[in-house]
Amino acid sequence: MTVVVETIAALRAQVRTWRAEGLKVALVPTMGALHDGHVSLMRAALERADRCVVSIFVNPRQFAPTEDLDKYPRQLALDLDRLEKAGVHLAFTPGVDEVYPQGFATSISVGGPSAGLETDFRPAFFDGVATVVGKLFIQSEPDLAVFGEKDYQQLCVVKKLCRDLDLPVEVLGSPTIRDAEGLAMSSRNAYLSAEELEIARQLNKLLRKAASQLQSGADEQATMAAARMAILDAGFDVVDYVEARESVTLAPWQKDRNGRVLVAARLGKTRLIDNVEIAAS
Ligand code: PAF
């Protein structure tokens, strides 16, 4: 049975009890609206730990005033049902005041991999993510935490957060879960109309093509320009970025290194992100 707690004190008491019993604890931080991608993170957590905690908290600090905080899908009853079926031991579902009490005035800003890409379009995003993830790690004291590779820059930022602040949490990236057409699972896919969904499904195919061209030695600038055009031709309205980066530091990609092609593109009111691997040649 999934135990549901809303306070940091109850969360900490339960995790400390487990750890005192010698059990290994994993955390999967989420904003709810759970889909198969999230369930795969829980599975990865349960394979490596004795107890799995899932946090469900729509973090206001990572939304800009123009973004979809109010509209972000909230479905706690359905989510708790999913956690139960996935065998999750504890759900942490704090209110905003529990996480950010009156007078809260601290922010964590991670350098390195947060530069560029998402930050060029959502300047406060990673400060919001790092602040809440840092708090969740301190609140729950997990041995390990699992994040999806779909939010690849976020995964790199969280790893850097732990390294730089000596947080004793092993951060594990889990592969992106895709539908039969390759569209990466995302809570925001719920915003897409049937027509937009067909367009969205082109994104991963175009990314894979670009990554394979880079792997075969194609010119990076020309490949990225062609990928941008192809994404627009597929029906996307705006390409925020499509770039090749080194896979750990997210510095510009060097041909002999493992890399990622990362994209953010807008379709109607929905902004989609995705990434694929470039294997070192
Ligand atoms: O990826 C998400 O859902 C969020 O950014 C996270 C990591 C739960 C922090 O709010």
Ligand 1: which of 30, 68, 122, 156 to mutate, most ligand atoms within 8 Å of CB? 30
- Locate the ligand 1 atom nearest the alpha carbon of residue 148 and give its number: 1
Q: Is the pLDDT of residue 243 over 80?
A: yes
Query: Measured in angstroms, how far is the CA atom of residue 31 from the centroid of ligand 1?
Result: 6
Residue-level pLDDT at 280: 80
Q: Please report the pLDDT score of residue 256 as a whole number.
A: 84
Asked if 201 contacts 181 with a C-beta cutoff of 8 angstroms, the reply is: yes
Task: Convert the pLDDT of each residue in 9-36 to its tens digit.
Answer: 999 999 999 999 999 999 999 999 999 9
Q: Which of 11, 38, 86, 91 is catalytic?
A: 38
Q: How far apart are CA 176 and CA 151, in angstroms?
A: 9
Q: What's the pLDDT tens digit per position in 34-87?
A: 999 999 999 999 999 999 999 999 999 999 999 989 999 999 999 999 999 999
For residue 281, pLDDT beyond 90: no
Count of Cβ atoms closer than 10 Å to residue 231 Cβ:
22
pLDDT tens, 116-152?
Answer: 999 999 999 999 999 999 999 999 999 999 999 999 9
Instruction: Kindly report the CATH class assigned to 187-276.
Output: alpha beta
Yes or no: domain 3-174 corresponds to CATH 3.40.50.620: yes
Q: Please report, in range form, the residues annotated as the binding site for ATP.
A: 31-38, 148-151, 177, 185-188
Q: Please report the pLDDT score of residue 206 as a whole number.
A: 98
Give yes or no: 38 in active site: yes
Establish whether residue 37 lines the binding site of ligand 1, counting it when its CB lies within 6 angstroms of any ligand atom.
no
CB distance 186 to ligand 1 below 6 Å: no
pLDDT band at residue 212, thresholds of 50, 70 and 90? very high
- Give residue-wise pLDDT tens across range 253-269: 999 899 999 999 999 99
140 within 8 A of 165, measured Cβ to Cβ: no
Looking from the CA of 110 toward its CB, the CA atoms found within 13 Å total 29
Every domain of the chain and the residues it spans: 3-174, 187-276
Q: What ligand 1 atom has the least distance to the C-alpha of 187?
A: 3
- Residue pointed to by tokens 């041909």: 255
| Cα–Cα distance, 85 to 79 (Å, whole number) | 10
The residue written with tokens 């990434």 in the block is: 275
For ligand 1, atom 3: residue with the closest CA: 30
User: Mean pLDDT in the chain?
Assistant: 97
Instruction: Give me the percent of the chain exceeding a pLDDT of 70.
Output: 100
